[in-house]
Structure 1
């Protein structure tokens, strides 16, 4: 069984959070940065680590580990910020996502993907495009545009401005 709406082979960037491997479509990735100073912003959700200055623009940075109920991302030699573009209605929001490490870019054919699992009625899997099979492992393929609710995106979007 394949994932609805995906009919062609697409490139994905894989990254690690704890022991799990996640992926996003390459076209959503703007760049990958080494860990840099993140300025904390008061009264934001726990998963909102703060903002960075990216060539004169303020870019919000979220901690996907916290968003997914894991322990906070710790700084290491491999920790990075994946800068992505998220569609929010008619606008595009640029934001950074902390990852333990970036793995690889590879192409995934539709027949190597399965729909997101249904695990009970209380678990929201709408942020998952599906599960990809790569070698002997499963990869959680994120739908980055559906990862956050409208209220969360509104708060994040209000942080994205020109710094200088």
Structure 2
């Protein structure tokens, strides 16, 4: 018998071989090991407000559009910028910067005296209980996928007007301030 045949003979199972210990070992491996649940990432739409990166679950956004001409509403709340016509539907457009206290005064964006909107500004049309609503953002950044392990609760002490901040998302070195749009528009 050649050296190679001897090696193969040692390697493979022979019917006359005692394998009792091996069978006991293999019998214990039939038990199912507890599976570690796979984290399912959720998609968020990231956008900029006053240079800060915010994100909302993408399922809460109906569409993203360029800023159309807005019609001013007299004596409306300061964070209501105006209304827009979206394929025959009149939709209110809100300024989250005021709700989040990122600015003290709403920008002039509606009416005949309004300058043209910045090139990167967009309107996010969101699903709300009261119907669609528009949210003015400075720019849309991208869609990010965040796993539950990448989310942290909202920092303490943000009560009052900032109760729409529901957490912080981390992806690599980037931070995303997570918002509840329904609460922000309430």
Scaled by the length of structure 1, what TM-score is found? 0.77
**What is the aligned-residue RMSD (CA, Å)?**
1.8
Partner of 2:122: 80
Map residues 1-80 of structure 1 onto 2, 5 A cutoff: 8-71=40-103, 72=106, 75-80=117-122
The answer on whether the counterparts of 2:99 and 2:161 sit within 8 Å (CA) in structure 1 is no
Partner of 1:141: 178
CA separation of 1:112 and 1:66: change in aligned 2, threshold 3 A: same
What SS class does the counterpart of residue 56 from structure 2 fall into?
strand
Show structure 1 runs of 4+ deviating over 2 A: 70-75, 122-126
- Structure ranking higher in helix proportion: 2
CA offset at residue 9 of structure 1?
1.7
Deviations 1:18-38 (Å, cap 9, x if unpaired)? 121110111111111101100
- Structure ranking higher in strand proportion: 1
1:106 maps onto 2:136 in alignment: no
CA offset at residue 123 of structure 1?
4.3
Scaled by the length of structure 2, what TM-score is found? 0.68
What SS class does the counterpart of residue 46 from structure 1 fall into?
coil
Larger Rg: 2
Match of 1:129 among 163, 166, 181: 166
Structure 1 runs not aligned, ≥5 long: 1-6, 150-164
Partner of 2:13: none
What SS class does the counterpart of residue 104 from structure 1 fall into?
strand
CA offset at residue 124 of structure 1?
5.0
